[in-house]
Structure 1
């Protein structure tokens, strides 16, 4: 079965007082997922906004990636591709460093 899909990701960045927040929105055509990420500049570091943008955006997209993995695990389990009782993959957690 050949098919072509296009998924779109929009990343919105907000910066204030050394803190950058990102919101990434994945649109698949059938669903939407939103990821969040935050980066804070250490007061001892030089404030380079581009670095905060990169970190916050990466964390927001990582959040979406974790949601996609959970969705895939759920879908595989629904069609019997995962053995019963298989635990979900680790690293779904959202650490305080990213909140």
Structure 2
């Protein structure tokens, strides 16, 4: 049964004077809202290039959000009474 949805993603980046960048990435599905967090620190000996901090913090926030989304899907699959995988397999459709 085909369907179309639109999910909204909001990204907020914050950098302080110490060279720390924080990313908050929020996914709003209309029924669920998840927020991923990521941080990047500039080493004192390195040049401060804000774009690199933005990229690292955002990538880490995306990884955090992806883990949360997969856990949510696995809980939903389990709630539907689907058989649980064995031997370290991941629930759901194959990738």
TM > 0.5 between the two?
A: yes
TM range (shorter): 0.7 to 0.9
Calculate the aligned-residue CA RMSD, in Å.
Answer: 1.9
SS at match of 2:10: strand
- Shift of residue 41, structure 1, vs aligned partner: 0.5
CA distance in structure 2 between the partners assigned to 1:30 and 1:2 by the alignment: 19
> With structure 2 as the length reference, what TM-score do the two structures score?
0.84
CA distance in structure 2 between the partners assigned to 1:47 and 1:76 by the alignment: 45
1:1-99 matches, cutoff 5 A:
1-16=1-16, 17-83=18-84
Give 5+ residue unaligned stretches, structure 1: 90-99
SS at match of 1:77: helix
Give 5+ residue unaligned stretches, structure 2: 91-95
| Alignment length (residue pairs) | 89
Radius of gyration: which is bigger? 2
